[in-house]
Amino acid sequence: MWRTSRFFAGFAAFLVCWGSVAEPGRAEAREPAAVLEVAADGPVRGLLDAHTHVEGHENMGGRIICGKPFDPDGIEEALRDCPDHGPNGEYAVIENFFMNGTPTGTHATDGYPTFGYWPAHNSQTHQMVYHEWLERAWRGGLRILVDQLVANRILCDVYPLKLNSCDEMDTVRLEMRRAREMQSYIDDLNGGPGKGWFRLVTSPEQARQVIAQGRLAVVTGMETSEPFGCGKFLGVPKCTKAQIDRGLDEVKALGVSSMFICHKFDNALCGVRFDGGTAGLLVNAGNFLSTGRFWQVEPCTGPPDNTLMSLRSLPPPLGEWLDVPLAVLPNYPAGPHCNKNGLTALGEYTIRGMAKRGMIVEIDHMSAKAAGQTLTLLEKIGYSGVMSSHNWTDRSFLPRLYRLGGMATQIQPRPDSAVAYWRTLKAASDPGHLFGYGVGLDANGFASLPGPRTGSQVAYPFTSPFDPSITFDRLTTGRRTWDYNTEGVANYGLVPDWLEDLRQTAPPEMLTDLANGPEAYLQMWTRARTGR
């Protein structure tokens, strides 16, 4: 068995490799911003973010990410640092790993109103999606946000501080409740029920209506490692078909429209794409804790799942965290390596169940074998509802995804690197379907936001590319002002500044495709629900 107290420190190391003016208290009530005028059934123009975790602070026991997207008692309560970080950040072990590559370090822990240290584009254990920052992004052109409910039982188990249950479905239910509470809170700020700009939607038709009314359409997704309790141990599934049906019915009723069936660790539904390098050592350790087995490899006959390091080469003190004989540790052959675990029979049953319910299938995090099998299944049944929302699938699958009528979006799209990936997506696209470019920022998901670009020349104030009546000066919250040119997307509120930088540097065709992102997503979602 694992020595959990030692394993926590190892997992902290893994995380580093894993891949408008805000006023104190309640904001004043306000009318929705002027937006691009479209009919309810007309084309939607703006920005799509297909992968962000608004309620990610409730993940892993609710004590890892400091701060909340809102608090009924106002910004002073919402944007506090974690009390367990100590007076100078020296106890923020995971944050220190992210920022320094070591568990030791210090940082300012003042939070609102001075924000001496956070938010910052690469600070991944502090709140990134405070509601007023999200509002600024919406006013700057964000039209669809896919809010991914996220949970990971293993990371919750090994982290010693908890407020919430580690059961993944309990976490999903809690985060969905928080999303509804945030909608009600924003309604109250804007005049009462139904009047806020943040609107949870469960169909493409409803999304179009919300956007046409000048509001943000928030689609709900789900990214968990053991959906519906579908883990496995020593090869034995922990769920049944009946359990999967009940789970799909429950999350559909909750409002979930998009879902991953595996994430980071193999489960009863599919094998996962490996993390390589040192990160892979520790995620592989987590796979053992979750499943009773280390990752199993086989010779690659298709795209690789990354090259793994041998666990027998673990340096001290990493080797001491394992309480298993050396002979039990896998000694992998030379890479590249492919996960021998693909889409299981229960996984195929889940995919068919999602298609039956008109849900969008996320193929990121699937092993190459599982992703290929999933695409083959979707091709067989002619199903368009498929996404790669944050670049974690092999690029060779993109043409098949687009031919089905699916869509891909990009994580960490710094303007000097985003153009190259847009060209990759464009080359893979299918002329039979509208092509749109979007992002999957993964905010609050242990992923950095786009950092500053050398040579960036965003001049303040600037005009929204989607509504010339709206201008933006530097973002200020409390007594802290951010400049995109030197700090990048330090929090979600600087997304409009990123858009302005992209407007200055990207080819015009890319900007057109960016504006088409929400419409392409809605068309894909409509095909998934109607079969047309």
Residue 243 has pLDDT above 70, yes or no: yes
**What is the pLDDT at residue 5?**
40
Is a pLDDT exceeding 50 seen at residue 341?
yes
As given in the structure block, the two tokens for residue 432 are 């039979």
Share of the chain above pLDDT 70, in %: 89
Kindly list the structural domains of the chain, giving each domain's residue range(s) and its CATH number in brackets, ordered by start.
1-532 (3.20.20.140)
pLDDT tens-digit readout, 466-509: 888 999 999 999 999 999 999 999 999 999 999 999 999 999 99
% of the chain residues with pLDDT over 90: 73
pLDDT of residue 314: 62
Which pLDDT band holds residue 1 (cuts at 50, 70, 90)?
Answer: very low
Write down the pLDDT at residue 9.
41
pLDDT in tens, 360-369: 999 999 999 9
- Give 459's contacts (C-beta < 8 A, 6+ positions apart): none
- Residue in the structure block whose two tokens are 């379907």: 433
Mean pLDDT, the chain, rounded, equals 89
Q: Could you tell me which of 422, 428, 391, 384 has the C-alpha nearest to residue 406?
A: 384
Q: What tens digit of pLDDT does each residue of 286-335 get? A: 899 999 999 999 999 999 998 898 877 665 555 566 566 666 788 888 88
pLDDT of residue 88: 83
Per-residue pLDDT at 160 exceeds 60? yes
* pLDDT exceeds 50 at position 254: yes
38: confidence class by pLDDT, cuts 50, 70, 90: very low
- Rg of the Cα trace of the chain? 22
Q: Across residues 62-90, what is the average pLDDT?
A: 91
Identify which has the larger pLDDT, 24 or 332.
332
Confidence check: pLDDT of 11 > 80:
no
**Confidence (pLDDT) at 326:** 67
pLDDT of 105: 79
Instruction: Note the pTM of the prediction, 2 decimals.
Output: 0.91
- Label residue 285 by pLDDT band (50, 70, 90): confident
* Candidate ranges 5-14, 97-106, 301-310, 334-343; pick with highest mean pLDDT: 334-343
CA distance 110 to 358: 45
User: Is 70 exceeded by the pLDDT of residue 28?
Assistant: no
- How would you label 409-443 residue by residue, b for 16+ Cβ within 10 Å and e otherwise? bbbbbbbeebeebbeebeebbeeebbbbbbbbbbb
Residues 34/214, Cβ–Cβ less than 8 Å: yes
Q: Each residue of 113-142: pLDDT tens digit?
A: 999 999 999 998 999 999 999 999 999 999
The sign of the torsion formed by the CA atoms of 417, 423, 424, 425 equals positive
- pLDDT interval class at 26 (50, 70, 90): very low
DSSP, collapsed to helix, strand or coil, labels residue 101 as coil
The pLDDT tens digits of the residues spanning 412-465 come to 999 988 999 999 999 999 999 999 999 999 999 988 999 999 999 999 999 998
Alpha carbon 372 to its chain's center: 22
Residues 386-420 pLDDT 10s: 999 999 999 999 999 999 999 999 999 999 889 99
Percent of the chain as helix, strand, coil, to the nearest 5: 40, 15, 45
